[in-house]
Amino acid sequence: MASSLTKDSVTPGTPGTEKTFFGHPRGLATLFMTEMWERFSYYGMKALLTVYLLSGGPGAGKGSMGGGLAMDVATTTVIVSVYSAMVYLLAMPGGWLGDRVWGPRKTVTIAAVTIMAGHLTLALPGGQAPFFAGLALVAAGSGLLKANISTMVGHLYDGPDDPRRDGGFTIFYMGINAGAFFAPLAIGTVGQKVSWHLGFGMAAVGMAIGLAAFLLGTRNLSPKSSVVPKPLAAEERAAWLRKGLLWVIAATVFYGVVGVTGHFTLNWAMIPLTVIGLVVPAGVLLRIKRDKELSATEQSKMTGYIWFFVAAAVFWMIYDQGASTVQAFGEGKASTSLLGFDFPTSWYQSLNPLFIMALAPVFAWVWVWLNRKGKEPSTIVKFSMGLVLIGVSFFFFLIPLAMAANGTAVSPMWLVGIYFIQTVGELCLSPVGLSVTTKMAPAKYASQMMGVWFLAVTAGDSITSLLSNPAIAGVDLGGTPAVFGEAALAALAGFAVWMYRRKVKSLMGEVH
């Protein structure tokens, strides 16, 4: 499949010298196909996640297929949020394993097998036990894969100054969005209309295709992808194994005591993961900020970066509810028919990647056009725009919430509007966040800071889980007061970032 997209090389000396992939190293085709099918499996499963958890319970849509876990909306939101938080949290140890233990290529292979095993476990009948085991495997595998496959894309090019590098990453990210777009349409339809477990099984098939593409195309990858950049010494390996074993024992004892004493509930089981999702990001930022080896300039940049990190956490807290709170509303309170065409509610999850593919080139052109006129917004202003827009999406959400209060099934176009506004906000904030992370990273932590950026997602999702958990706050995040409060918080945060833009700019030094 990849070979049909290659042509004669115009730049000999790159991996896969005889062919290129749209003018790029042929290994890009391998990584493109691997990532596209991995995202197909990941987003297909995620599109089913909320509706499967709600199925058979009070939050399920009228006439929806039974056979799910019949959970309420609050518990569903907790599970979806913790799952998403753990995927991004595990990206850091995934990158560490690639750097210190296995190397990127081997780590991606292990990750793909782990993800496939997770989806196959989800496909097993048997209630909650295989479901949570499968979810844990998919989260672990996704964390292993996320950082390492991007690293291998970078290995295909001759350093950061290779003029093809940015274009290569653009093609690679198109694979992400292509997989994310088609997955809910295929896996969502089968899962919701035929069999939940068959849908999860389709996700496993998608990952199997991605793994096959990766293994068949490894000869086109850079030899650097097989190298362990900084291997663990024997003493370090033994120390890490002891630490890992101690954590496993501690978790086993904790949950064992809770279970034996009769206090175990699903929501209480989520609390330690929520706490980890908040403590780890705070601890990582604090450790870097207090590092005495950093220069005064680097310390100043880290202080400025914390502003961006907190703002991003607020953004992702609301944005990721598109797969939980907003999806649950679409499942239970919106019509599943548009212009006489019936569709499964999992299709809502195709909207964001569709909008990204349509709007990303437009945004890229607009920023360049404004830059030529000397009017391009600064990084800080783009961040504040993203925050305000994510707030606007939830202010907009208030309208269908009010319309559905009397039991009326609202038009699905209201949800289309919410996802559209959120995507515009994402395009203002997310690419800028990735860029500013690399620019403001202290030299000592240059390779780790991308993982730190992912921790903003972890923190945001953990806050959502904390608020929704009936065992802690028990806030109805799908209720009008909570939606209004979150919208106001995001808008105020965006306004605060804009108000203090000069202070943040001074902390950023030469970075603009």
Instruction: Provide the pLDDT confidence category of residue 172 given band limits of 50, 70 and 90.
Output: confident
| 118-171: pLDDT as tens digits | 999 999 988 888 999 999 999 999 989 987 888 888 888 876 667 777 677 778
Asked if residues 184 and 253 have their Cβ atoms less than 8 Å apart, the reply is no
* Maximum Cα interatomic distance, the chain, rounded to a whole number of Å: 69
Stretch among 4-13, 184-193, 238-247, 502-511 having the lowest mean pLDDT: 4-13
Per-residue confidence at 13, pLDDT binned at 50, 70, 90?
very low
Distance from C-alpha of 378 to C-alpha of 382, rounded to nearest angstrom: 6
The DSSP annotation for 186-252 comes to IIIHHHHHT-HHHHHHHHHHHHHHHHHHHHHTGGGS-GGGGS-SSPPPHHHHHHHHHHHHHHHHHHH
* 340 vs 213, more confident: 213
CA dihedral 7, 12, 13, 16 (to 10 degrees): 20
Reported as a single tens digit per residue, the pLDDT across 57-93 is: 888 887 778 888 999 999 999 999 999 999 999 988 8
Query: In terms of pLDDT, which residue wins out, 81 or 447?
Result: 81
Check if the beta carbon of residue 61 is closer than 8 Å to that of residue 332. yes
Could you tell me the pTM of the whole model?
A: 0.88
Q: Which residue has the tokens 């009948």?
A: 125
Query: What is the DSSP secondary structure assignment for residue 337, as one 8-state letter?
Result: E
Closest CA to 208 of 76, 339, 94, 41: 41
Quote the pLDDT of residue 238.
86
Closest CA to 436 of 315, 314, 348, 309: 309
Ordered strands of the 24-25 beta sheet: 6-8, 19-21, 24-25
3-state helix, strand, coil in the chain (%, to 5): 75, 5, 20
What is the distance between the alpha carbons of residues 353 and 345, in angstroms, rounded to a whole number? Answer: 16
For residue 310, the surrounding DSSP H or E stretch is helix 296-319
Position 5 pLDDT exceeds 70? no
Listed as own residue / partner, the contacts of 448-454 with beta carbons closer than 8 Å and 24 or more positions apart are 448/92, 448/95, 450/95, 450/147, 451/91, 451/92, 451/95, 451/147, 452/92, 452/281, 452/284, 452/285, 452/288, 452/309, 453/309, 453/312, 454/88, 454/89, 454/91, 454/92, 454/146
Give yes or no for a contact between 48 and 350, defined as CB atoms under 8 angstroms apart. Answer: no
Identify how many contiguous H helices and E strands the chain contains and give both numbers: 18, 5
Tens digit of pLDDT for each residue in 408-419?
A: 899 999 999 999
| pLDDT exceeds 90 at position 398 | yes
Distance CA 19, CA 2 (A): 11
Beta-carbon contacts of 486 under 8 Å, excluding residues fewer than 6 positions away, are 317, 318, 391, 394, 477
Question: 435 or 486: whose pLDDT is higher?
Answer: 486
